[in-house]
Amino acid sequence: MRYWLVLALALGLVSLSQTSTPAQSSATPASSSPQGDVDRLFVLRGRNIARAAAEAANGGLENYMAEPAMHGPTANAPVVISEDGSLLFTFKGFRPEDRDINGDPTFSFETEVLVNPDRTFAILYNGPLRPVTP
């Protein structure tokens, strides 16, 4: 029930907001089309769907927060855009109380969410941070 409430609130807020920044990927997009061809509103909504899915899967906002890139401008979102138009978000998260001496988050979770063009999604990975591959 809580998952649906969080998702409904996130989607409701997204429908009221607009974005003017182009979607950019922290990784190379799978498609060869320029970023300008991407539906920016879909990237914004997809990011919010992915973040809400991670929040629900990790016990809600009192237990989990996604990295700042999942909240700020869509240009900073860690997304890979596939040729079929799906969005793959891979991002880190942390418990709200897990912060270093400077107040910066100490990340302990990694989540990978695939958002399809029809706005369905699948959580592909949700667990401890995986080793970074060069």
Residue 24 belongs to what domain range?
2-128
Question: Do residues 27 and 80 touch, judged by C-beta distance below 8 A?
Answer: yes
* Model confidence pTM above 0.75: no
Q: Chain-wide mean pLDDT for the chain?
A: 81
The answer to whether residue 62 sits within a structural domain is yes
Give the span between the Cα atoms of 36 and 8, in whole angstroms. Answer: 28
The answer to whether residue 134 sits within a structural domain is no
The answer to whether residue 12 sits within a structural domain is yes
Q: How many domains in the chain?
A: 1
The answer to whether residue 28 sits within a structural domain is yes
Predicted local confidence at residue 36, as pLDDT: 53
Coil, strand, or helix at residue 75?
helix
The answer to whether residue 133 sits within a structural domain is no
The answer to whether residue 97 sits within a structural domain is yes
pLDDT (tens digit, 9 = 90+) per residue, 110-120? 999 999 999 99
CA distances from 20 to 17, 40, 79, 92, 99 (A): 10, 8, 17, 25, 32
Predicted local confidence at residue 4, as pLDDT: 53
Question: Do residues 122 and 114 touch, judged by C-beta distance below 8 A?
Answer: yes
pLDDT (tens digit, 9 = 90+) per residue, 7-59? 555 545 444 444 333 444 444 344 333 345 678 999 999 999 999 999 999 99
CA distances from 31 to 27, 37, 67, 90, 125 (A): 12, 11, 25, 17, 22
pLDDT (tens digit, 9 = 90+) per residue, 65-118? 999 999 989 999 999 999 999 999 999 999 999 999 999 999 999 999 999 999
